[in-house]
């Protein structure tokens, strides 16, 4: 029995040392996350310029984002909570010193031979007390803390995955908006040339002013659309800066190509990935929740178990003066075992309650596994459908651009009408809107499937 008790104590000490080592490592990780950047900094430490690929932007956000840092600190908090549970079962040592002054008081004792006085000298007492108590619930509590740590780590991993997905969506949106803006700029150049040419024809008396006004309206519509795109680009940059946790005045340059990110290979590789439900973060969290429910059954069962307590105290008294009676022994060792006997069914009901909760957790886990298999098929379908739509809309915008350029050129030589030019301009703007929407749908579908597969 003695060997087994010391073995348990040894395990608890080892767990505690391990948690302290992790805490030091985690603190280093958090401190490192606040250092370094892929850009130029001012003398005050504020980032002024960043040149980032998509991967670099995601890594930078993981290092700098304060929400993710809080999730990392939550893991450290879980380790600290486990050490508190362990330390509660390890020896606790307290020291004390007391001084008593009886102000010259003498105790009077009566005997058959008469009364006599006993002087009460001043006394100082130095004491040291060591104690420890072990029970089954404390040991199971450590196991519960271990599960809590794993759940915090999964939550950290989930937060990182969410952040990387958000950065990808923002990054690709910026690339798409910039591409559309460049396309509209080139279209505006053509229509402005047409506007100037038509106005010269009107000035020469070869055409009516109405014709020039109609061209001016198309140019104004195009300019307004370009301004809308620029405001959207500014908003997208601000969203990315929030995710990267950089000052608003920071200049960000994107180096990746849109076609490389949304390539057929990336989509096909994602669709071909094997689905393992045990890699899904939500499923893993539910697994830990079921394991937690199981340990709670153990915890409730150990309410019937004994509590073993060990204690040692040392007391050294010193009398300042003559007399005094030493009634307190200097060394005392105590061993106690406390066993619960009767609780009117309270403990039994607690065990039943935890068993029911465990069965509920297992049922939820099994049901979620079936639902995730169906959800995987749906996400694959969504990605495949979104990619097909993206390819179609990308081709449509290229065709609309060619048609608009051709119609504009024909209009210069009178080979096309104002109605045809207006329709071509409207088709280009519609194609632009559809292309951006198709691109965002594709990115969303890709990010959702990556998060689902935990890639």
pLDDT in tens, the chain (455 residues): 333 333 433 443 343 434 434 344 434 433 333 333 444 444 445 557 899 999 999 999 999 888 888 989 999 999 999 999 999 899 999 999 999 888 877 777 777 777 777 777 888 899 999 999 988 888 999 999 999 999 999 999 999 999 998 999 899 889 888 888 888 888 788 778 877 877 887 787 766 788 778 888 878 888 898 898 889 999 999 999 999 988 888 999 999 988 888 888 888 888 888 888 988 899 999 999 999 999 999 999 988 889 999 999 998 888 777 666 667 788 999 999 999 988 888 889 999 999 999 999 999 999 999 999 999 999 999 999 999 999 999 899 889 989 988 888 887 777 888 788 888 888 888 888 898 889 889 988 988 898 888 86
pLDDT value of residue 430: 87
Each residue's pLDDT tens digit, 98-145:
998 888 777 777 777 777 777 778 888 999 999 999 888 889 999 999
- Which residues lie across from 334 on neighbouring strands? 311
Here the tokens at position 69 are: 């840092």
Q: Is the dihedral of CA 29, 33, 35, 36 positive or negative?
A: positive
Predicted pLDDT of residue 43: 41
Cα(404)–Cα(410) distance, rounded to whole angstroms? 10
pLDDT attached to residue 421: 80
Residue 455: the pLDDT is: 65
Distance of CA 262 to the CA centre of its chain: 26
Alpha-helical segments (H) within 39-92:
54-64, 66-87
- H/E stretch holding 316 reads strand 307-320
- Chain position carrying tokens 């105590």: 334
The residues pairing with 320 across neighbouring beta strands, listed in sequence order, are 122
In the 8-state DSSP scheme, what is residue 4?
Answer: H
| Separation of first and last alpha carbons in the chain | 49
- Give the separation between CA 29 and CA 52, rounded to whole angstroms: 22
- At 50 the three-state DSSP class reads strand
Question: How far is CA 268 from each of CA 112, 263, 379, 442, rounded to the nearest angstrom?
Answer: 108, 9, 13, 13
- What number does CATH give the domain 2-91+134-305+345-453? 1.20.1600.10
112 in helix, strand or coil? coil
Query: Distance between CA atoms of 146 and 212, rounded to whole angstroms?
Result: 76
Contact criterion met (CB below 8 Å) for 170 and 255: no
C-alpha 361/C-alpha 50 separation (Å) is 47
Domain ranges of the chain: 2-91+134-305+345-453
Report pLDDT digits (tens) over 152-198: 999 999 999 999 989 998 998 898 888 888 888 887 887 788 778 77
What is residue 439's predicted lDDT score, i.e. its pLDDT? 86
Q: Which residues contact 102 (CB under 8 A, 6 or more apart)?
A: 120, 121, 122
Question: Do 130 and 311 contact (CB within 8 A), yes or no?
Answer: yes
The tokens for 109 are 């004792």
| Residue 339, phi then psi, degrees to nearest 5 | -125, 120
pLDDT score, position 369: 92
Contact 138, 88 (CB under 8 A): yes
């Amino acid at each position: 029995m003695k060997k087994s008790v010391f073995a348990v104590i040894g395990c608890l000490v080892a767990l505690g040392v391990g948690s302290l080592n992790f805490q030091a490592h985690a603190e280093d990780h958090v401190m490192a996350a606040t250092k370094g950047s892929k850009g130029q900094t001012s003398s005050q430490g504020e980032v002024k310029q960043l040149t980032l690929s998509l991967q670099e932007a995601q890594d930078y956000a993981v290092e700098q984002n304060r929400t993710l840092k809080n999730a990392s600190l939550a893991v450290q908090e879980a380790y600290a909570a486990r050490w508190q549970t362990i330390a509660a079962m390890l020896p606790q040592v307290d020291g004390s010193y007391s001084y008593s002054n009886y102000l010259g008081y003498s105790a009077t004792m009566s005997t058959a031979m008469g009364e006599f006085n006993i002087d009460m000298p001043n006394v100082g007492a130095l004491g040291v007390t060591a104690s420890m108590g072990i029970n089954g619930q404390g040991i199971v509590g450590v196991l519960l803390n271990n599960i809590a740590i794993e759940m915090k780590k999964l939550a950290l991993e989930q937060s990182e995955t969410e952040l990387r997905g958000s950065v990808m969506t923002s990054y690709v949106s910026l690339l798409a908006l910039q591409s559309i803006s460049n396309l509209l700029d080139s279209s505006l150049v053509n229509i402005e040339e047409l506007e100037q040419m038509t106005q010269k024809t009107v000035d020469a008396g070869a055409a009516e002013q109405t014709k020039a006004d109609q061209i001016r309206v198309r140019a104004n519509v195009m300019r307004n659309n370009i301004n809308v795109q620029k405001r959207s680009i500014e908003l997208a940059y601000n969203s990315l800066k929030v995710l990267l946790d950089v000052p608003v005045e920071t200049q960000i340059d994107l180096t990746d190509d849109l076609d490389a990110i949304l390539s057929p290979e990336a989509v096909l590789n994602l669709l071909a990935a094997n689905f393992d439900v045990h890699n899904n973060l939500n499923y893993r969290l539910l697994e830990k929740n079921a394991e937690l429910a199981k340990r709670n059954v153990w915890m409730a069962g150990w309410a019937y178990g004994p509590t073993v307590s060990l204690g040692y105290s040392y007391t050294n008294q010193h009398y300042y003066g003559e007399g005094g009676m030493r009634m307190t022994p200097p060394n005392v060792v105590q061993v106690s075992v406390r066993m619960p006997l009767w609780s009117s069914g309270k403990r039994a009901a607690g065990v039943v309650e935890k068993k029911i909760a465990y069965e509920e957790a297992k049922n939820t886990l099994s049901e979620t596994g079936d639902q995730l298999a169906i959800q995987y098929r749906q996400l694959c379908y969504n990605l495949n459908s979104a990619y097909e739509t993206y390819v179609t809309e990308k081709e449509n915008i290229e065709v609309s651009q060619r048609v608009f350029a051709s119609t504009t050129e024909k209009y210069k030589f009178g080979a096309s009408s104002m109605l045809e030019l207006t329709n071509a301009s409207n088709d280009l703007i519609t194609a632009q809107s559809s292309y951006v929407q198709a691109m965002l749908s594709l990115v969303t579908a890709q990010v959702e499937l990556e998060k689902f597969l935990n890639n």
